[in-house]
Amino acid sequence: PRVMLGQLGITGASQVRRKRIEAVAGFPAGTPYTPKKLQDVANRLRRTGAFASVALTEADTLGPDDRMNVTAAVVDQKKRRIGFGAAISSSEGASLSAFWLHRNLFGGAERFKLSGEIAGVGLQGGGRGHKDHAGSRAGHPAFGNGQLPTPPACGHFHRHRQ
């Protein structure tokens, strides 16, 4: 028989709202089953960055009308992350960078990131100068089509000194 996709079940104690998980997954219920469709669903969920683990399991038996239900088991990623870096170059000088990331800000798998960088520290006359950069990015996955947009940059600050 031709197997059709049934319903998507979600398991796991996620802090992402169930409706948002369903929207991000973009599960194509009622369409013919293909392994690629399930792979696409899992990839959309993973790309949010909200989940440490995503596993899809197909039902052992078919339901009415040869429909196969699928269960998505999700495990949340840690909500907050910080990072920093340092580099030194004889031609570019020293640079320092840092960021703070918050995942699932409002329960919809959103991301908010604050970042900053100071570059060109310690350059003498022939260098390009000292540069500061600070910015923020916000992202909200799935606008009804299961796709992840590239989040716009907002609130950027640049300063360049000679």
What's residue 34's pLDDT? 95
**Residues with pLDDT less than 50, the chain:** 143-162
Question: What pLDDT sits at residue 124?
Answer: 64
Q: What is the pLDDT of residues 29-62, one digit of tens each?
A: 999 999 999 999 999 999 998 999 999 999 999 9
Q: What is the pLDDT of residue 161?
A: 43
Q: Is 45 exposed, middle or buried (0-12, 13-18, 19+ CB in 10 A)?
A: buried
Q: What angle do CA 48, 59, 53 make, to 5 degrees?
A: 25
DSSP for 21-85, please give it. Answer: HHHHHT--TTSB--HHHHHHHHHHHHHTS-EEEEEEEE-SS--GGGEEEEEEEEEEPPSEEEEEE
pLDDT value at position 111?
86
CA end-to-end span of the chain, whole Å?
Answer: 72
Question: Residue 39 corresponds to which amino acid?
Answer: Q
Please tell me whether residue 154 adopts helix, strand or coil conformation: strand
What is the pLDDT, as a whole number, of residue 156? 43
